[in-house]
Structure 1
C-alpha cells in the first residue's frame, strides 16, 4: 500500500481525527470482547451478524483499502485479526445466545454461509460503485444490523452477567465518533448520516438498559 500515514487529500483534519479515534475505540471494543470471551466462554457479539462484521473487515483489509491513509487501513486490519478469534469463538459458543432450537442444528453452517455472503456483498457493493472509498455505506448497513441485534439480544436475556458495560461504551463511542466524521467527510450523504444517528440512538438505549440491569454506567 503506497499510502501516506494520514491522507488529507480529500478529507478535513477534524473529520480524520474523529474517524481515527472512532476506529481506535472499535479496536478497544474487540480487545475487550476477546478478553471477555476467554474469561466467560460466551460471545456477546450477536451470532447472526458476526459473519457480516468479519466479512466487511476482510474485504476492506485485503481487497480494498480506505483512502484515509495507512493508519486507518492498519486499524481495519487489526480489527480483522481480532475478529478472527471472535468469529471462531462464535462457532464454538454462539449457541449459548438466545437462538431458536431448530437453528442450532445448522448454526455453524449458517455462520460460514453468512460470512461468505457478506464478503461477496461488500466486494460487489464497492465494485459496482455504491460504496464510499472508505467503506462507510456498507459498514453502516452492517452497523445498523449489529446495533439492532445487540439490543434484541440484551432484551431477550434475563441474566446479563455476561454482558460488558466497557464493551458497550467502547462500541458506542467508536460508532458515534465515526458518525461525527461522516458529517465532515460526506456532508451531502444524508442516508449514511441517518444510519449513523440511528445507531447512536440504539447503542445509547443499549447502555441505558444495561445500566438498569447492572446498576452501573462503567
Structure 2
C-alpha cells in the first residue's frame, strides 16, 4: 500500500501527463492536418469522460479532470471528423462515429452496472488497453502524421501513474493487474515503433554524403 501523499502524487501525475498528451495530439494534429488518435479510442474516451464529468462524478477532483479531458477530446473528435472527410464521405463517416459513441456509452453503463463499478476503473483501463493497441496500428495506416515520440512517452508515463495507483488501491484484482501490464507492454511496443519510424524518416531525408574523387 502506498501512502496517501504518494497516491495523491500519482493522481496528479496521471492527470498532468494525460492532459499534456491530449494537448500534444491536438497541436500535432492541426500541424499535420491529421487526427492523432484512432476514432474508436476517441469515442470510447469521450463517452467515459461525459459519464464521469456530468452524470456519475465520484470525486470533485476527478470531475474537474474528466471535464478537462472531455473538452480536449471534443477538439480531437472534431479533428477526426474534419480530416477524415477527405477519405470518407460525411454520409458514411458521421453515422459511423455516432454508432461508435452510442455503443461506447452503452458498454460503459453496462460494465458499471455489471461490475458495480461506480468509479469506472474497469472501463477506464479497458479503454486504455484498447487505445494502446490501436495506437500501435496508427503508424502503419497514416505514418507519423499526428504523432510524435513525445506523445508516446507522455501517454506511457500517464498510464504508468494510473497503473501503479490502481495496483495500490486494488492489489487483489487480477483483471486490473492484467489490463495494466498489457497496456504497459503495448505502450512500450508503440514507443519502439515510433522511434523506428522517426529514425527511418530522418535517414531517408538526410542529404547524401559527397563522393570522394581520386
TM-superposed deviation, 1:117: 1.7
Q: CA deviation digits over 1:180-213, x for unaligned, max 9? A: 1011111111201210111110111111111111
Distance 2:155 2:32 in 1: 19
TM-superposed deviation, 1:95: 5.6
Q: Report the count of equivalent residues.
A: 198
* Residue number among 114, 117, 129 corresponding to 2:100 in the alignment: 114
- 1:33-48 alignment runs, 5 A limit: 33-48=25-40
TM-superposed deviation, 1:164: 1.3
TM-score, length of structure 2 as denominator length: 0.83
Quick one: structure 1 residues 30 and 184, their matched pair in 2 at CA, closer, same or farther if it must change by over 3 Å? same
2:24 corresponds to 1:24: no
TM-score, length of structure 1 as denominator length: 0.82
Quick one: structure 1 residues 200 and 104, their matched pair in 2 at CA, closer, same or farther if it must change by over 3 Å? farther
Q: Which runs of 5+ in 2 are unaligned?
A: 201-214
2:70 corresponds to 1:84: no
2:153 corresponds to 1:169: yes
Greater C-alpha radius of gyration: 2
| Between structures 1 and 2, the one with greater helix share | 2
- 2:128 corresponds to which residue? 143
Q: Which runs of 5+ in 1 are unaligned?
A: 1-10
Structure 1 stretches of 4+ moved >6 Å: none
RMSD over aligned CA atoms reads 2.3
* Residue number among 96, 100, 115 corresponding to 1:130 in the alignment: 115
